[in-house]
Structure 1
Amino acid sequence: MALKKSDLYRSLWRSCDEQRGGMDAGQYKDYVLTLLFVKYVTDKAKSDPHSLIDVPAGGSFDDMVALKGDKEIGKKTNDIIRRLAEANGLEKVIDLADFNDEEKLGEGKDMQDRLSKLVTIFADLDFRGSRAEGDDLLGGAYEYLMRHFATESGRSKGQFYTPAEVSRVLAKVLGIGADTRQDHTVYDPTCGSGSLLLTVADEAPRGLTVYGQEKDNATWALAQMNMILHGYEDRDIRKGDTLTSPQFTPGAQLRTFDFAVANPPFSTESWSNGLENDYGRFEFGRPPQKNGDYAFLLHILTSLKDNGRAAVILPHGVLFRGHAEAAIRRELLDRGYIKGVIGLPANLFYGTGIPACVIVLDKEDAKTRTGVFMIDASQGFMKDGNKHRLRSQDIHKIVDVFTKQTEIERYARMVPLQEIAGPNNDYNLNIPRYIDSSEPEDIQDLHAHVHGGIPDRDLDALSRYWEAFPSLRATLFRPNRPGYSDLAVGVAEVQQAVLDSEEFQKFAAEARGRVDDWFAAHRPALRALDPDTVPKDLIAGISDDLLARFRNTPLLDEYDVYEQLMTYWHDVMHDDVFLVMNEGWCQAAKPRRTIEDKERKLSETPDLVIGSGRGATKHKTDLVPPALVVARYFADGQAKVDALHAAAADTSRAVEEYIEEHATEDGLLAGAMDDGKITKALAAARLKAARPEGPAEVDAQEVRALRHLVRLYDEEAGAKKAVREAQAALDLATLRKYGDLDEPEIRQLVLDDKWHATIADRVAGVADSLTFTLVGRIRQLGERYAETVGDITTELEQWEAKVAGHLAAMGIGR
């Protein structure tokens, strides 16, 4: 049975990282990714006779496996890679890592063991049988490793990788669609490991023709391998510094492309060192000598066809810095080349923690462009370790809003060029000048503090709730005086009043109903999963439809709903789809023994344990969790176990209460205490000593107390034993039931009880969270203005009078 994708990736990373030792992650990645490449092309050559990569005799991964334990494994591995490189013109691409480097891999036995273990890790991977998902499985593994190596490499060495989420934003804002042809070209002048280029190419139905340049040799090699791994054997990725030695220069002119993307190094100071020919790139002005941001931007602009489009990641400084950069910015804006600016969150990138922006260039219709569309997406992210990441909903919202040019308060607007060029802004593109994304200030109302009542303006600010629940405001508040209201219910009763309202219940039911209708519409497609399913197309279709169904729902943000599905997809559902595609419903649903693999650092937590001790068997249920089987087929058995659990809890509580009552310093059980505790063994030993033949004299009341405590302990042990036996019987029946499940039953469990129910519950949670926000705000306002200044003054005077009275009673004058 195949490992789930997520388990495969995690175990692969843990295993490889275990073998790294003290080697720098930036260097170690070259070894790991080279092995992954050789393994992949070897597997593909076995299953695809038309593979463009020739795997010669003595140049395969199988030859590496044969070297395990060989004293000369390092030297011989280099020979294998050399043969593969020479057969495919990949010299200086896949042979950069020296597998015989004693300084990095250790000497003698250390190198032998390390390389043998690394080869073993990859030997267990099989990329032949993954069918339509094969390249995605491999690409996903490569992406997972790249992300982790970038994380481990630190700021100075993590720039070879652009986070996949940011890459998707750039790819989608370019407007590549169903009519984009395979011969359309895409170019990245600072392509790093090629992940950004591949993400863009993947937006086209049949891919794009890919061009790139990278000046770092090792990173260039990574890009070459990455392209081949993703099926772009005909890529054109060249080496060299793009600014001083551009490689795509037919006829001494820069070649032009349909699309361009880039994540160039920020604010590089040495960009012009060795620059001899500017290739007409700086007609709008020469960038500052010690800051190359605009040098890259102008290079990309010059590399676009007359109708070309580009998306470039740059630091925010390019939006507002003065002098030479201000002059260039003015020229670009006046000519209409800048279509949009998207502000991103801070700490997204591995090379820097500063916030960045995306500059969208578009030469088509540039002369008629009268404004710049701006988005402030700086607040949309999730924390991921010490970095930030864009969520699925953040990506989709940015792309939707930009593509449709939708204006949203405090998020996006079309800014007229007249406003940008005006005297107040003077071509400054700093986003906060045009979009105020800050939360409205929560103003304290002094009049309300003095005279009471909640300001109506604070209630008016909750208008989206009153629009969704029209009668709720009248239920919760009553007029106080003009401009102020009082709570009509107690502060503690607000939440229940909201939940009990017919309007909220109708709202929650309608939200669930929309999910039910959505799932019913897509259930046939999900039911029909097979080896030819393309998961990315599947999730794109069903997720976009869910978002559309909630687009006009009052109060609910459709992107919050969308995120519930996408989070579940990434965490669980994608793995499920992968299993069903590769193994079929019945095989994927079969329990399997848990994996305990020391080599791959994989130790699974079992879902079902049958038996105990050494004879216990541990089982993993990847597709159908035991709780679903129990809920559908063994509800009575679960109810019995629950009842026994409750009874056992009662017996435990009885023991605790009896001990608490009698284990005081002078209590009946004080003699049986040891270090403040009384176990059954201590109580039994004390009781034995109290018998006539015993060595100690014990009070009769203490004897009765000890006997009662031992009896309570026996009842507790019996109750817990009954729970264990009932649970064991239920677990055994559940395991056996898996063998009786037919395909329709498995589909029902997965489609309805797992996927549908989970997504519906998550969306319901979004609706509930909205009420918690409303209730929290109402409580805050109610408590803030509950006491007036007069109330506080009166209370203070009462306390002062009491203190004066006490002082007088003690004969102390004020």
Structure 2
Amino acid sequence: MSPTIKDLENRLWEAADHMRANSPLRLNEFAEPVLGLIFLKFAGVKHSKTEKEVTEERKKKTKSHGGASVSRERPVSSADYHARGVLFVPEKARFSYLIELPEGTDMGRAVDDAMKEIEAENKELAGILPKTFQKLDSRSIIALLKNFNQIPDDIEGDAFGRIYEYFLGKFALADGSRGGEFFTPTSIVKLIVEIIEPYQGRIYDPACGSGGMFVQSHEFVKRHLENGKKVRASREIAIYGQEKTDQTVRIAKMNLAIHGLSGDIREGNTYYEDRHKSIGKFDFTMANPPFNVKGIDKERIKDDPRFSYGIPKADNGNYLWIQIFLNSLNDKGRAGFVMANSASDAGHSEKEIRQKMIEDGVVDVIVAVGPNMFYNVTLPVTLWFLDRGKKSTDRKNRILFIDARNIYRQIDRAHRDWTDEQIEQIASIVRSYRGENGKKYQNVKGLCKVTTIEEVKKAGYSLNPGRYVGITDNGSEDDGNFGDKIEKLHSELRGLTDKAHELENKVFENLKKFDL
């Protein structure tokens, strides 16, 4: 991302956050209208650009037909916008109109009406846009409009999507545990996407939050399309999601729209409602479900075919989610999801389910992730990757374990993430294991190991990477056996992490000089 966009994001957030601090609204009440105004600015800019494009095309067409009067051409209509996949924004719903309204105008009503008009002209947005602006006073709305009007009309195409995602992340960070319900940190999502590789097909997230998994799948396709192949990423993937709250469904649909995507996102409690009739339907499933949920009514789900391995006796929803993900896949489908560490070694009925999955050959890759990678979970987590198609490969009796707990970049004292380079290096290990990148896979002590199902059986069907990869000792890096490319990769990963730690220490040392 260019420094200009970063600077703009910071300025926009600082101003909006200052207004939030002086607002009587709770954070989640403030977030939706703010995201709605970013969407409104985006829609207006796209509208204006399209109007100019259509007008210019008509002028050229008029000249090519002997110079007939342009004035006789029909005005640009909503049909012209929809034909180009662009939202039609009525005049009184445009940012430029709202920001010039005279003093004394009821701005809350004006913006609510603007949202209603946009929905009326664009049926795919029906019921999605926020209409809660009357909770804000007119002065705050005008200040927010002026703030987001800083976004230049000629900004690059995907910048609005970046800004929207940036605000989602900031709201999630500010809201702590509640924020984690709708937002998964981008670096976690990127790694999941890089490992399951959703080039094309049906993608499902039954706990979709703000839709980040879908956005990153779209970005993945764009990055990996062959040079010169003029196919829009949104045509390569079909999006299906479910989320239990209507507010989060609306946020997700706005997020998709602002990235030029559309999808079938439905409201429903996934434990009890399978709104997409998901069994065997999807090529890819990705999710960050709520962990360790208690109090699920097992009587309501006892005959649900999604739980084909059985209902766990423990009062914990983890192994319900795992079965939902697995059973949504078709016979070649892949799933990648975040899971509580405790699920890797859970005992009794949960162990029985895990054992059946392992013996059925659907568990493909397990990645251990260190603490503080999430806004609402400080503990370490595990990424699970399932693959129904591996049964027909030479990996059918093997599982790759990766211990990535020591790979991270420190954002601040309480939060970490992965750099793009670290994500690519971890994903490269998986591609080598699958034989996809032409590089020979090799186990690296302390980092990764391919283990047979028989070995996993002897370890009590544990899926904890630490049980298998071992611990790196100081002598192992210099014993002359690390010339292989995969071991060079390990060194690069450690180097990236060391640099991050070094920079963090320098910052803290500099702060000490100022007695901060």
Fold conserved (TM > 0.5)? yes
Q: Of 71, 74, 88, which residue of structure 1 is paired with 2:122? A: 88
**8 Å contact 2:19–2:140 — kept in the other structure?**
yes
- 1:415 is aligned to 451
Alignment of 1:200 with 2:217, yes or no, is yes
**8 Å contact 1:339–1:360 — kept in the other structure?**
yes
Alpha-carbon deviations, 1:389-445, whole Å to 9, x = none? 1233321221011121232111100111111112xx2212222221223656xxxxx
- 1:383 is aligned to 410
Alignment of 1:165 with 2:187, yes or no, is yes
Alignment of 1:557 with 2:499, yes or no, is no
RMSD: 2.9
- 1:403 is aligned to 431
- 1:287 is aligned to 312
TM-fit CA distance, 1:553: 11
- 2:61 is aligned to none
| Aligned mates of 2:213, 2:117 — CA distance in 1 | 30
User: 1:557-596 to 2 correspondence within 5 Å?
Assistant: 557-559=491-493
**8 Å contact 2:371–2:381 — kept in the other structure?**
yes
Alignment of 1:254 with 2:282, yes or no, is no
TM-fit CA distance, 1:25: 2.4
**8 Å contact 2:9–2:163 — kept in the other structure?**
yes
Classify the secondary structure of the residue corresponding to 2:220. coil
User: 1:391-790 to 2 correspondence within 5 Å?
Assistant: 391-405=419-433, 406=441, 407-422=443-458, 425-437=459-471, 439=473, 463=478, 557-559=491-493
| Aligned mates of 1:461, 1:345 — CA distance in 2 | 22
Query: What letter is aligned with 1:157?
Result: G
Alignment of 1:213 with 2:225, yes or no, is no
Q: Of 359, 373, 377, which residue of structure 1 is paired with 2:400? A: 373
Alignment of 1:338 with 2:272, yes or no, is no
TM-fit CA distance, 1:157: 3.5
- 2:259 is aligned to 230
Change (3 A) 1:215 1:13: same
Query: What letter is aligned with 2:172?
Result: A
| Aligned mates of 2:457, 2:365 — CA distance in 1 | 15
**8 Å contact 1:420–1:426 — kept in the other structure?**
yes
Change (3 A) 1:324 1:3: closer
Sequence identity (%): 25
Question: What are the ranges of 5 or more consecutive residues in structure 1 without an aligned counterpart?
Answer: 106-110, 441-459, 469-549, 568-764, 767-814
Classify the secondary structure of the residue corresponding to 2:469. coil
| Aligned mates of 2:329, 2:291 — CA distance in 1 | 21
Query: What letter is aligned with 1:275?
Result: R
Alpha-carbon deviations, 1:311-345, whole Å to 9, x = none? 01101111101011101001000100101111111
TM-fit CA distance, 1:229: 0.5
- 2:202 is aligned to 185
- 2:168 is aligned to 146
Change (3 A) 1:278 1:348: farther
Query: What letter is aligned with 2:6?
Result: S
| Aligned mates of 1:254, 1:552 — CA distance in 2 | 37
TM-fit CA distance, 1:367: 6.5
Query: What letter is aligned with 2:255?
Result: N
**8 Å contact 1:410–1:435 — kept in the other structure?**
yes
- 2:112 is aligned to 78
| Aligned mates of 1:329, 1:400 — CA distance in 2 | 27
| Aligned mates of 1:189, 1:27 — CA distance in 2 | 24
Change (3 A) 1:272 1:52: farther
Question: What are the ranges of 5 or more consecutive residues in structure 2 without an aligned counterpart?
Answer: 51-80, 226-231, 434-440, 504-516
Classify the secondary structure of the residue corresponding to 2:208. coil
| Aligned mates of 1:166, 1:556 — CA distance in 2 | 19
Structure 1 segments (4+ residues) deviating >6 Å: 465-468, 552-556, 560-565
TM-fit CA distance, 1:261: 0.4
- 1:240 is aligned to 268
- 1:788 is aligned to none
Classify the secondary structure of the residue corresponding to 2:118. helix
Classify the secondary structure of the residue corresponding to 2:270. coil
TM-fit CA distance, 1:377: 0.3
Alignment of 1:60 with 2:94, yes or no, is yes
Query: What letter is aligned with 1:218?
Result: Q
| Aligned mates of 2:116, 2:360 — CA distance in 1 | 52
Alignment of 1:118 with 2:133, yes or no, is no
| Aligned mates of 1:229, 1:278 — CA distance in 2 | 40
**8 Å contact 1:191–1:212 — kept in the other structure?**
yes
Classify the secondary structure of the residue corresponding to 1:19. helix
- 1:12 is aligned to 12
TM-fit CA distance, 1:63: 2.9
Classify the secondary structure of the residue corresponding to 1:372. strand
- 1:324 is aligned to 349
**8 Å contact 1:147–1:163 — kept in the other structure?**
yes
Query: What letter is aligned with 2:115?
Result: I
Alpha-carbon deviations, 1:654-697, whole Å to 9, x = none? xxxxxxxxxxxxxxxxxxxxxxxxxxxxxxxxxxxxxxxxxxxx
Alpha-carbon deviations, 1:579-604, whole Å to 9, x = none? xxxxxxxxxxxxxxxxxxxxxxxxxx
TM-fit CA distance, 1:372: 1.1
Query: What letter is aligned with 2:148?
Result: F
Larger radius of gyration: 1
Query: What letter is aligned with 1:411?
Result: L
Change (3 A) 1:552 1:72: closer
Q: Of 297, 305, 309, which residue of structure 2 is paired with 1:272? A: 297
Query: What letter is aligned with 2:127?
Result: K
Change (3 A) 1:145 1:68: farther
Change (3 A) 1:152 1:161: same
- 1:595 is aligned to none
Alpha-carbon deviations, 1:52-76, whole Å to 9, x = none? 3121232222232133633411122
| Aligned mates of 2:374, 2:15 — CA distance in 1 | 25
| Aligned mates of 1:299, 1:553 — CA distance in 2 | 36
Query: What letter is aligned with 1:37?
Result: F
Change (3 A) 1:72 1:438: same
Q: What is the TM-score when the length of structure 2 is the normalising length? A: 0.79
The size of the alignment, in residue pairs, is 443
Classify the secondary structure of the residue corresponding to 2:40. helix
Alpha-carbon deviations, 1:199-230, whole Å to 9, x = none? 02322234211111111111111100000001
Change (3 A) 1:552 1:257: closer
Query: What letter is aligned with 2:112?
Result: N
Change (3 A) 1:82 1:281: same
Query: What letter is aligned with 2:276?
Result: F
| Aligned mates of 1:94, 1:163 — CA distance in 2 | 24
| Aligned mates of 2:383, 2:487 — CA distance in 1 | 31
| Aligned mates of 2:329, 2:489 — CA distance in 1 | 43
Alpha-carbon deviations, 1:251-276, whole Å to 9, x = none? xx736111110000111113437835
**8 Å contact 2:168–2:183 — kept in the other structure?**
yes
* More displaced 10-residue stretch of structure 1: 48-57 or 114-123: 48-57
TM-fit CA distance, 1:139: 1.4
**8 Å contact 1:285–1:327 — kept in the other structure?**
no
| Aligned mates of 1:366, 1:467 — CA distance in 2 | 31
Change (3 A) 1:556 1:100: closer
| Aligned mates of 1:562, 1:320 — CA distance in 2 | 31
